[in-house]
Each structure stands twice: as C-alpha cells, then as structure tokens.
Chains A and B, each alone.
Chain A
Amino acid sequence: MKELQLARTLGWFSIGLGLAELLTPRRISKTIGVKPHPGVLRVMGLREITSGIGILTQKKPTTWVWSRVIGDIMDLGMLGMAFGSSHAQRSRLAIATATVAGVAAVDLLCGKQLSRRYPEKKAKGEQGKIPLHKVITINRPAEELYRFWRNFENLPRVMGHLKSVTATNDKRSHWVAKGPMGHDVEWDAEVTQDVPNKLIAWRSLEGADVDNSGSVRFETATGGRGTVVRVQLSYNPPGGVVGAKVAKVMGQAPEKQIPVDLIRFKQLMETGEIAKTEGQSSGRRKSTSAKFDDLLRA
C-alpha cells in the first residue's frame, strides 16, 4: 500500500500549497520570482486544494493523482512563459521550476503505480460483448407473458427497432432489425432454453449481422403482485465498441431501446394497447413527445 501512503502525502501537500497560493499569493509570487498575479495564483490554489481533497477522500485516488500530474504540466508551462517576462528573477524561477519538476516526477510515479494497482474496468461480460439487464413488473400471470414472448413474431409489436421476426420452425426464427444509419441488420436465431412459463433463452446463429444472445425470465412477484420480467441481452455491436458509442449517441443503442420496449410490452399486456400521443392535435407541427419518441426508437 506504499502508493496509497504516497498519494496521501501528495494530497496534504496539495492542500498546503493550495492554501498558501490562495491566502498569500503575493508572497508566493515573490518566492518564485515572478510579477505578482494574485488572481492567477488563487485559481491555481483552488485547483491544488480540489486535487488534494479528491485524493484524500477517495478510496482509489488514481484519477485525482493524475489531475495533479496535469496540474504540474500546466504549472511548468506557466513557469516557462514567465522566463520570457522582463519582471522575472531568473535564479528564483529556475529553483521554482526545478522544484515543480521534482514534484511532477513524484506525481507521475504515484499515478503510474496507482493505475497499475487499480486497472480501469474493461467492459464486463464476454470479449467485446455489451451486456444488458432490465427488469419490470407486469400485472399479468406468467403464462400469458410467456405465451406472448415465445411467439417471437409478436415482438415487433412492442420493440420499436425490430422490423419483423419470422419463425422458421419451433426453435428457429429469422430477425430483421433497424440498424445504424438506416441499414437493416438480419440474423437467424435459435432457442437454446425453453422452460414453459419461466424462461426463454436464444442465441443468434453463424452468419448473423449482429452476434447476440438473450434470455427472458418470468417470476411471480412477492405477494402475488404480478410477474417480474427479467430480460438479459448481450450483443457484439456492428463496428465494435466505437459503433456502440455512435449508436448510443444516435439513441439507437439497445441500452436505450430495451427500457422503452419493456414499458410498451407492459402497456400492451396490461391494457391491450400502447399509450401514445403521436397524431394528436396541437398548435404546432411536431410535439416534444413525438421527438422524444423518435430519439428513442429511430
């Protein structure tokens, strides 16, 4: 845990230096040999204090130690600029620059150690696959919900991004979905598990445009208050992780679509229809609701 101790020391150092810059900017200016700029020094002081508090309050202060490294680079840059000023006392400036460079080296070392100790979490799940899990409670018996879902051809009624699903036999089906940039994506899928009224799992077959798998579970809710529906999906987005990010920004990512689809599934099962306002009257051409809707299901 040496790196954590070092980080704490740096945290306290940040706060100390920050307070000095904030409270006595003129004296600091004199010490490092530059023309007094109390405003600039106070801002730098605040930055130091923020980094310090960040380091001391986080269990894994990696990011905040790196924020010190960035701060050091800014400081060195400004000191470099100060050498060009006619007011500078070069000998004092040189000492200050050497000191900052020394501290920067320690910061860099500490940051590297912390990053090694606490590596950033990569995408969970299988290699490159994006996992999704959503849950909703529906006030209908599990049998009914299972029956609707097991006939995959029903799904486009509630899932806005699906164009069609065609069952080829009891286990296999062909899916067509709206993909990014107006291109359709298609795949064949196969049911891998089927426990009546409890569980359906499926997986795309060789040659799918989007390699994906999923499952839906139906459990009776506590106190018999409806059925808890748990949907799990994972998919290899076209265009990899970058493609997934783009889709997310465009509002086409399954992360955004699945919650809407589940709400629509619930509405259809409980009320026999899907609540909508598209097509209603208003004193304008297109409503916010319709825009919101488009964004989610484009």
Chain B
Amino acid sequence: MKANCWFGKNQMQVVEVPDPKILNPRDAIVRITSTAICGSDLHLYNGFVPTMEKGDIVGHEFMGEVVEVGSGVKNLKVGDRIVVPFPISCGSCHFCTEGMFSLCENSNPNALMAQQMWGHSPCGIYGYSHLTGGYAGGQAEYARVPFADVDHVKIPDNLRDEQVLFLSDIFPTGYMAAENCNIKPGDTVAVWGCGPVGQFAIKSAFLLGAERVIAIDRVPERLRMAQEQGGAEIINYDDLDTYEGLMEMTGGRGPDSCIEAVGMEAHGAPLEYAYDRAKQAMMLETDRPIAFREAIMACRNGGTISVPGVYGGLVDKIPLGALMNKALTIKTGQTHVQKYMGLLLEKIQKGEIDPSFVITHTMSLEDAPKGYELFKHKQDECIKIVLKPQL
C-alpha cells in the first residue's frame, strides 16, 4: 500500500510499504477513506519531537471501512464504517475505566522510554514518535487498529466523511479544552490560536454556555473563520497587544478561562519569540511557551487555564508567581477522545454543529508532502487539509 512516511525534518514522502496485518486478537484493519493532517503533525515535520525514526508512517486522524477483524473483536464486522480515535486505549486498565483514555497504561509498548522522560507514560498514539509507542499511523491506504473493540465509533451512512472525520482528534480536543474551563453562564473565554483545535474550542465554549469568546491569532483568514463561523470576538496580536486587548475587552478583569491551543512552537512579540527560539536552537529549552505565559498573565484571578496545545519537554520562564498569587487552575492532557466520540457524534447528527467548516483543502494521499508544506507555511489560506487515498 501507499503511506506517507517521515524521513527527517521537513521530509515527508509517500512510499510503498507492506499492507498492515492483524498482530493481536483485538486488532482490526481499516481501509482508509479520509485522513487529515493535524497541527501536531507539523511538530514532527519541523523536527521538534524526539524519537522519530526514518520511515515512520505518520497520521493520527483517520476513518474508513473495516476490512478485517481479529478473533477478539466481537462488536465490529467487515464493512463497518468507523472513525478511529487517536489515543490507543485498552478500555480495561484503571485509567480507561475512569474515562481517562489517553492515560491508558497498557497501550504503549515503549512505556519505559516515556517513563524516563515524563515519570509516567501516556497511552500509545498513532504515528507520533516511538515515545508514544511507534505505532504506524493513518496517512496511508490501510491501518492496523489495536484494541479495535474499544477504539472506534461507528458512523451511520447518512453522514459524510467530512462531517465526522474530526471526531478522531480535533473536535473532541477542542471540546475537552472547553469542558476543562468549567464554564459558567456569563463567562468570557479567551482562545489562543485559531488553528483547527482553536476553532473547535471556540464552538465548544459556546456549546457549553460561554457568553463571550475572544480569539487570538495573527493570521487574517483564521481570525475571519473564528469570527464568521465561530461567532468570536478577535484580537490580531500583530495590531494589538494581547494583554492590553483582553483587559480592554473584559473591563480590566481578564477572561474567566483561557484556552491555550498553540503549544510548543508558539509565535508572539518579536523579542520574546527571538528569546525562546534562540534557547530552543541551543537546546536550552525544547518548547516555546509564549502563549502559555500570556494566558497566565491575562487570566482573571481565580480563573482556569486549559491547555490542549502540545508540549514535549522543558520550558523556561514560566511566571509561577503569577500562577500562585492569582490562584489559577491549570487543566491539560492528551484528549480522552473515546469519552467524547459518542456525545459529539450525536451533536453532529442533530445538526448542532457541522465540523466540516474547518476544511480548506482536499487532496489525494499522494500529495501529502505538498500538503505539509502548504499547511506549515499557511499558504493559500490553508487551515485544514483532508487527504483521500482514493483520489
């Protein structure tokens, strides 16, 4: 089959690889009908995630048709149409049974590697470095789905791929980010980053009862989408200082909750960006927490900061004094996708939301490397790319 593989920094290549096989009783194989490039894939592309290996098949947002099931999978049959959640979760460990699927204790075969770096290992993740298991990803014609009996949501025929594909990651990720804000009626939520996760965070904050959402970015088309599709007020930080803008808009109190949907490769004020970029280049820090710092400073006293943005290692100059003295709460984590898939599918079926609004480009799988370039440089007003192996 054809698969999009990582071959180094800024090097993706669609190559011919062996078809996936059932390796364990609870596996299934899907023929992929739609797969997407995620913002977090750009961290791999830009070389910021350690333990990638040349030839790794990437991609963790995919859906398709079941073509083979292992002997241990009783609730799926060949021909079923499913979306696969990006966290690989067993469904039976302590964390899975508590609904914290992304903390599954059993799905990362390289748990000891992750333990050395983070103290404990999270779940395995498709196509996202060997630290999270080294599982082959879904930017391919076929994929192996471990623990397939737990890790799927079945899709009825009346919904198009584009409407449900993002149940695999970014819709639940935006939703969990908003849920983590513990929104109360009348609340104002600020969202850093208007990429796809930011867009879903904006929508979800309104779904969960926020009165106002303020979106922060500097890319005009992304701000436009936040405003027109999401109904958010906007701050373009190229024109207006984020802190000043937020204080002006919230009567000096600051937003009740802040969603940091940017992560380790943030941009910001030129001087601060230069500082973090230089430290990163010298390997004095691995991640650039610019948006995170801003959120801590701007959040109202006693407010909540929710971080769906991806971080990998160590950062510098976190205003812990502000965090403590302002009595802030921080909530974060990889998304417990399996916990939200059913609920969000229902919202899509009821027409409360149509996630396809974020898609700006549809390409064939063969064009994946071109897609990464386009997405990375935000060319052609690119916000979200869907790849189709059949095109």
Instruction: Determine the distance from Cα of A225 to Cα of B109 in the docked complex, in whole angstroms.
Output: 23
A293 / chain B contacts, CB cutoff of 8 Å: 109
- The digit string for B1-45, where 1 denotes a CB below 8 A from any CB of A, is 101010100000101011111011110000000000000000000
Cα A30 to Cα B272 with chains together (Å): 48
Verify A288–B134 contact, CB threshold 8 A: yes
Q: Which residues of B contact A263 (CB under 8 A)?
A: 111-112
- The reply to whether B18 and A281 form a contact with Cβ atoms under 8 Å apart is yes
Are the C-beta atoms of B21 and A279 separated by less than 8 Å? yes
Contact A277 B24 (CB under 8 A): no
A283: chain B residues within 8 A (beta carbon): 3, 5, 7, 13, 15, 17, 54-57
Provided the pairs A273-B72, A289-B110, A292-B113 are in contact, do residues A139 and B94 lie with their beta carbons within 8 angstroms? yes
* Contact of B122 with A by CB under 8 A: no
> For residue A266, which residues in chain B have a CB less than 8 angstroms away from its CB?
93, 105-106
A282 cross-chain contacts in B, Cβ below 8 A? 5, 17, 55-57, 136
Known: A272-B25, A275-B107. A280 touches B135 (CB 8 A): yes
A261-273 vs B: 1/0 string, CB under 8 Å? 0010011001111
Contact between B94 and A226 (Cβ–Cβ < 8 Å)?
yes
How far apart sit A280 and B57, CA to CA, in the bound complex (Å)? Answer: 10
**Interface residue count for B (Cβ, 8 Å)?**
47
Chain B nearest CB, measured from A142 CB (Å): 15
How many Å lie between the Cα of A296 and that of B106 in the bound state? 18
Do residues A275 and B56 form an inter-chain contact, with CB atoms below 8 A? no
A281 to B13, CA, bound (A): 15
Q: Which residue of A lies closest to B90 (CB)?
A: A271
Q: Which residues of B contact A225 (CB under 8 A)?
A: 94
A278 touches B (CB below 8 Å):
yes
Q: Which residues of A contact B173 (CB under 8 A)?
A: none
**Residues A277 and B94 in contact in the complex (CB < 8 Å), given A283-B7, A288-B130:** no
Q: Does B292 contact A (CB under 8 A)?
A: no
Residues of B within 8 A of A270 (CB): 90, 92-93, 105-106
Given contacts A226-B94, A266-B105, A281-B17, is CB(A287)–CB(B23) below 8 Å?
no
Given A263-B111, A280-B144; A287-B53 close (CB under 8 Å): yes
Bound CA span A283–B147, Å: 23
- Judging by beta carbons under 8 Å apart, are B3 and A287 in contact? no
> Please, how many angstroms separate the alpha-carbon atoms of A277 and B111 in the complex?
13
**Contact partner, A288, options B53, B140, B144, Cβ 8 Å:** B53
Q: Is B146 an interface residue (CB 8 A)?
A: yes
How many Å from the CB of B194 to the closest CB on chain A?
33
Contacts of A289 in B (CB 8 A): 109-110, 130, 133-134
- Chain A residues in 8 Å Cβ range of B24: 273-276
Residues on A with beta carbons closer than 8 Å to the beta carbon of B146: 275
A260 within 8 Å of B (CB atoms): yes
In this complex, which of B19, B93, B108 has the most chain A Cβ atoms within 10 angstroms of its Cβ? Answer: B93
User: B229 an interface residue at 8 Å Cβ cutoff?
Assistant: no
- The residue in chain A whose Cβ has the minimal distance to the Cβ of B106 is A267
A180 at the interface (CB under 8 A from B): no
B124 within 8 A of A: yes
Contact of A139 among B72, B97, B110 (CB under 8 A): B97
In the complex the two chains form, is A287's CB within 8 Å of B106's CB?
Answer: no
**B250: Cβ under 8 A from any A Cβ:** no
A100 to B: closest C-beta gap in Å: 38
A116 at the interface (CB under 8 A from B): no
Contact code string B73-101 (vs A, CB < 8 Å = 1, else 0)? 00000000000000000111110010000
Nearest to A137 among chain B residues (CB) is: B94
B371 CB, min distance to chain A CBs, angstroms: 17
- A281 with B134: CB separation less than 8 A: no
Q: Mark A222-248, 1 if CB is under 8 A from B, else 0.
A: 000110000000000000000000000
Chain A, residue nearest B135 (CB): A277
Q: Is the CB of A280 within 8 A of B25?
A: no
Interchain nearest-CB distance for B107 vs A (Å): 5
Check B51 for interface membership: any CB of A closer than 8 A.
yes
B106 to chain A, nearest CB (A): 5
Complex partner residue of B26 from A260, A273, A281, CB under 8 angstroms: A273
Q: Which of B72, B105, B136, B147 has the most CB of A within 10 A?
A: B105
User: When the two chains form the complex, which single residue of A137, A226, A273, A281 contacts B136, counting CB atoms closer than 8 Å?
Assistant: A281
CB-contact partner of A259 in B17, B18, B108, B112, under 8 A: B112
CB B343 to nearest CB in A, in angstroms, measures: 25
- Least CB distance from A255 to B in Å reads 12
Chain B residue numbers with a CB within 8 Å of A259 are: 112
Asked whether A284 is an interface residue with its Cβ less than 8 Å from the other chain, the reply is yes
Chain B residues in 8 Å Cβ range of A279 = 21, 23
Q: Which of B17, B24, B90, B106 has the most CB of A within 10 A?
A: B106
Residues of A within 8 A of B72 (CB): 272-273
Q: Which of A271, A280, A292, A296 contacts B147 (CB 8 A)?
A: A271
CB distance from B219 to the nearest CB of A (A): 32
Residues of B within 8 A of A (CB): 1, 3, 5, 7, 13, 15, 17-21, 23-26, 51, 53-57, 72, 90-94, 97, 105-113, 124, 130, 133-136, 140, 144, 146-147
Given A273-B25, A277-B134, A283-B17, 5 more A-B residue pairs with CB atoms under 8 Å apart are A272-B26, A276-B23, A279-B23, A280-B20, A287-B55
Q: Contact residues of A with B, CB < 8 Å?
A: 137, 139, 225-226, 259-260, 263, 266-267, 270-284, 287-289, 292-293, 296
Question: Could you give 21 example pairs across A and B, Cβ below 8 Å?
Answer: A225-B94, A266-B93, A266-B105, A270-B106, A271-B26, A271-B93, A271-B106, A271-B147, A275-B106, A280-B23, A281-B144, A282-B57, A283-B7, A283-B13, A283-B17, A283-B57, A284-B53, A287-B53, A287-B134, A292-B130, A293-B109
